[in-house]
Chains A and B, each alone.
Chain A
């Protein structure tokens, strides 16, 4: 009964849909915005915004791009 890790071969088709290597890409927008060395600075400024602000706002784009990419790559059944 214990630990029914979804490893059973009978579930292979749906597993393929859910466990795609593309999913690993999602760790980029989770990890990158949490590294202060990248964004904690003043220069260069963009439109008067210090790097701290514009770079973190730009990470939103990073998040959107990655999630969209992973969604497109994983949405079709067995789509490799």
Chain B
């Protein structure tokens, strides 16, 4: 009896496995369909936009969602839905799959990582859903438009600023890097190195990884302060790490000896612009969230029945004591 059951099970399993081997591929069609496979209903239509966010744990990404929400409120035809992948690629794939099921009219996605999201973005695009990719890219060209900042350029601007304005006579720089393996981290590092090249008297005396986090930036800086008696500039790959470094220096009474430079410049109370305004950071560089631009592009595609650029790179901007208050008021009139 037992043997009978066992052989039945084995047979069932074998059948399933064999069935699996005779698979047919769904991904064979490689030519992306034109995005115009859906008729454009123009200004009379009602449109549902799905926004797939990599995570909302980072203030930058929460702000991106908020910017999209605010911009979409100005377009009466738009309704935007939000999904949070919580830094899990598999969850983000499921989120986009769900949007496809819901037959949304346009997808906005800020991918957690490029490679794992490429296939599902292509799937949406091939079904005729226009796709706008924000901040981080996907591979290939199966999307409608990419909108993002140029991290190499931002790093270069920061490097030039240090070389020309902060330390024209040279000095020692400590670099606090973002999470190892993240593209923005590599690009902000590479750009900065290029930017300070103009001034050979500037030396990067130490680098450490703060994983984008304020508390990690602080802990790393604690150690760097002990190891290095003379630090002139701390260049952090984002504002939270720069703030952490500032706190570490302040704890040992050395915050006045050095200048702190960050990146992102979020116009929120805990963001970099306020930190510059209040004198903790010397400067920060804007890294646009692209939310407003994404909704403008969506409007162009759905309401105006037009086309958008394949790649739209937004410029960065230096925020220092001179313009911080004014830009904060402009970007965040309610804050």
A and B part of one assembly:
no
B residues contacting A by CB (< 8 A) are none
